[in-house]
């Protein structure tokens, strides 16, 4: 290997490292929530910008001690009910939609989500901050 090839490889590695540094492993958009006074459901689209699968394994509200769970609404015998899920995995370059009647993040403890910061914890230990809107969805 000559010096030029080595320099090329080093440059490519630097570009990849910079890309991963600048871009979070997932990008979150279309954030909304509902709030009943007892619990809140948070909905969004999560896109995996990376080339390997990423899983959301936990979530919490920054600076607030309360229970936050990953939920999925499923129908059993025609009745919709929510079940906790351990993790939500997003395929490489794929998108998973958290939506009303499907996957959602559930905030317990009567915490009003308005303007709070939801933190999604990924299986590689990284965290993605999601700013919640100031009003619930209409």
- Find where tokens 């910079």 sit: 18
Task: Name the residue number minimizing CB distance to Cu ion.
Answer: 71
The minimum distance between CB 121 and Cu ion, in angstroms, equals 18
Tokens of 39: 């619990």
The minimum distance between CB 16 and Cu ion, in angstroms, equals 38
Tokens of 93: 């370059």
The C-alpha R_g of the chain, in whole angstroms, comes to 18
Four-CA torsion 118, 66, 101, 70, nearest 10 degrees? 70
Kindly tell me which of 64 and 82 has the beta carbon lying closer to Cu ion. 82
Question: Distance between CA atoms of 126 and 109, rounded to whole angstroms?
Answer: 25
Kindly tell me which of 6 and 83 has the beta carbon lying closer to Cu ion. 83
The minimum distance between CB 106 and Cu ion, in angstroms, equals 3
Kindly tell me which of 11 and 45 has the beta carbon lying closer to Cu ion. 45
Kindly tell me which of 21 and 38 has the beta carbon lying closer to Cu ion. 38
The minimum distance between CB 82 and Cu ion, in angstroms, equals 4
Which positions touch Cu ion (CB under 5 A)? 71, 82, 106
Question: Distance between CA atoms of 90 and 48, rounded to whole angstroms?
Answer: 6
Question: Distance between CA atoms of 99 and 73, rounded to whole angstroms?
Answer: 9
């Amino acid at each position: 290997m000559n010096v030029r090839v080595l320099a090329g490889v080093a440059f490519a590695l630097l570009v990849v490292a910079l890309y991963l540094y600048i871009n979070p492993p997932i990008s979150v958009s279309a954030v909304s929530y509902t709030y009943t006074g007892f619990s809140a459901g948070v909905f969004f689209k999560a896109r995996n910008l990376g080339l390997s699968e990423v899983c959301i394994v936990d979530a919490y509200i920054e600076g607030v001690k309360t229970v936050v769970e990953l939920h999925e609404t499923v129908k059993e015998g025609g009745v919709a009910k929510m079940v906790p899920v351990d993790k939500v995995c997003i395929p490489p370059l794929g998108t998973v939609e958290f939506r009303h009647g499907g996957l959602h993040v559930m905030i317990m403890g009567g915490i009003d989500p308005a303007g709070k910061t939801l933190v999604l914890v990924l299986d590689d230990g990284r965290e993605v901050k999601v700013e919640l809107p100031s009003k619930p969805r209409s």
